[in-house]
A and B are shown apart, each in its own frame.
Chain A
Amino acid sequence: MPTIERTAIEFAKRTEAIKAKTVDYVYNLGQGLSRQELAVLVGQIDFTALVNELGYESSVNTLTANYINILKGVAPIAPLSEEVLAALVNTDKAWYLTKGSDLANTMKQELSRAALTGSTRATMKEAIKDVSGFRPDQVEAIVDTAQRTFSRSVTAAMTDEMPPDTTYIYLGPQDDKTRDICVEMGAAGALTRAEIESQFPGTMATGGGIRCRHEWRLETSKSDKLSGEAKAQEMLDDGDAKKGAGTPLQNQVDDKAS
């Protein structure tokens, strides 16, 4: 069974290897060409297609195949079909491919400049060293978030079968690490599914974002002891957290990976 950590490290390593292969490709292409000729040639290459050919796309496929195994480990028989599972994974897959395209375009820019200055293979590698690939911790955060999102989606699917007046509380810690949006949801108290969707849309599945430790859970006889509603309200009253400071999940993913 793949672990999140191992999957993340492998993907980050493969991305770094693709960066090195791209430099080798451009350097070898430049043999026998003038600097200007090479710069023009680099400008004509579709780098997105190139990195995919060099293995980026297949690397994303390997990563997302492991995702499915990791997610299946979360809930072997969940009220979510294989199609829904695939859709959840495909959303992240599309995001990785877009990031791959960004990576390719930045490399193109850097290598085009390097070609004009007549760089050696080592200087070319140096030029793209800091071009944002994926650090293992970034990939781990994204896979971990996918797992949590999936787990929340399983619960959300189950809540479809509950009466509409069923109430939910936002369960999780209220401490100095808690995001403002999570403090706000924690302070909101018990809400129906419709109230959650209108006040905090999408949070049934995504929670507060990347690596969020919270989840909307059915209100039970013990919920008042676990929800931290009073603490969250106190944090809002004291100004330790601000209302309306939520960040869409995708922005947080972009922030984290950039």
Chain B
Amino acid sequence: MTKLAKIVDMGRAWWFRVGEEVSQEIIDHTKNKQLDVNDRKFKPLTPEYAARKKSGDIDRVGGGNSDANLYATSDMLSNLKPRRTTSKSTVIGWDLIQSQKVVGNANNGRVITTRKRPLAKMVEKFLQKMIDKQTKRNIKKNDTITVHKLGK
């Protein structure tokens, strides 16, 4: 018999890994797939800004890329990471400065996360897979066979 508490006991290190995996999944979803939290393409950049971004005319921006992927200096996207991890959960997010940019982008119609939908469906599926995998692993690890001896 497996104790339910042990099945859901994932441990702090596992939650930290989940936080990192999900953070990097969101960065990939935003930067490489160029999708918002609703799995829709981001609103295109204005032609002027796209040209400036491509030319590298913006302070600290490397240049050569005019995609609408919320990736200029990488300061904001790379900053998404686990912020608070316990043995029962992990909280991912941005620091004070970068979170202001996330809000600014959302106000501008380019949304990475909302209270109603914190994760894009694709990312949600990824997280669910991780949880299922670890749950199965925990069941296997904690499963014990009880032998009832009948008779002599």
> Could you list which residues of chain A lie within 8 angstroms of chain B, going by C-beta atoms?
1, 3-4, 70, 73-79, 144, 147, 151, 154-155, 158, 161-163, 171-173, 175-178, 213-215, 217-218, 220-223, 225-226
Nearest-Cβ distance from residue A228 to partner chain B, whole angstroms? 9
Residues of A contacting B21 with CB < 8 Å? 218, 220-222
| B residues 53-87 touching A (CB-CB < 8 Å) | 56, 60-64, 73-75, 78-79, 81-85
Chain B: residues with Cβ within 8 Å of the partner, total of 31
Other contacts beyond A162-B16, A172-B78: 8, CB < 8 A: A147-B95, A154-B83, A155-B82, A162-B17, A175-B64, A222-B24, A222-B27, A225-B28
**Closest B residue to A74 using CB positions:** B95
Contact B95 A213 (CB under 8 A): no
Contact A163 B13 (CB under 8 A): yes
Once A70-B96, A78-B84 are accepted as A-B contacts, the answer to whether A213 and B75 lie under 8 Å apart by CB is yes
Q: How many A-B pairs with Cβ below 8 Å?
A: 89
User: Sorted from nearest, which 5 A-B pairs have the closest CB atoms?
Assistant: A175-B62, A218-B20, A73-B96, A173-B74, A222-B24
Residues of A contacting B74 with CB < 8 Å? 172-173, 213
Residues of A contacting B79 with CB < 8 Å? 151
Query: B39 interface residue, CB < 8 Å from A?
Result: no
Q: Which of A1, A163, A226 contacts B96 (CB 8 A)?
A: A1
Contact A217 B24 (CB under 8 A): yes
**Complex-state Cα separation, A175 to B20, whole angstroms:** 24
Contact A158 B85 (CB under 8 A): yes
Q: Which of B24, B62, B63 contacts A226 (CB 8 A)?
A: B24
Q: Which of A1, A172, A176 contacts B63 (CB 8 A)?
A: A176
Query: B25 interface residue, CB < 8 Å from A?
Result: yes
Nearest-Cβ distance from residue A191 to partner chain B, whole angstroms? 15
Contact B28 A217 (CB under 8 A): no
Contact B78 A215 (CB under 8 A): yes
Which of B20, B21, B62, B84 has the largest count of A CB atoms less than 10 A from its CB?
Answer: B20
**Closest B residue to A70 using CB positions:** B96
Residues of A contacting B5 with CB < 8 Å? none
| B residues 2-49 touching A (CB-CB < 8 Å) | 12-13, 16-17, 20-21, 24-25, 27-28, 31-32
Contact B81 A175 (CB under 8 A): no
Contact A4 B97 (CB under 8 A): yes
Which of B17, B24, B28, B31 has the largest count of A CB atoms less than 10 A from its CB?
Answer: B24
Nearest-Cβ distance from residue B17 to partner chain A, whole angstroms? 6
Contact A176 B62 (CB under 8 A): yes
Q: List 18 A-B contacts (CB under 8 A).
A: A4-B97, A74-B95, A74-B96, A76-B84, A151-B95, A154-B83, A158-B85, A162-B13, A171-B24, A171-B78, A172-B78, A173-B62, A177-B62, A213-B73, A214-B78, A217-B24, A217-B81, A221-B21
**Complex-state Cα separation, A70 to B21, whole angstroms:** 27
Q: Which of B16, B56, B62 contacts A161 (CB 8 A)?
A: B16
**Closest A residue to B16 using CB positions:** A158
Once A74-B96, A171-B78, A221-B21 are accepted as A-B contacts, the answer to whether A226 and B73 lie under 8 Å apart by CB is no
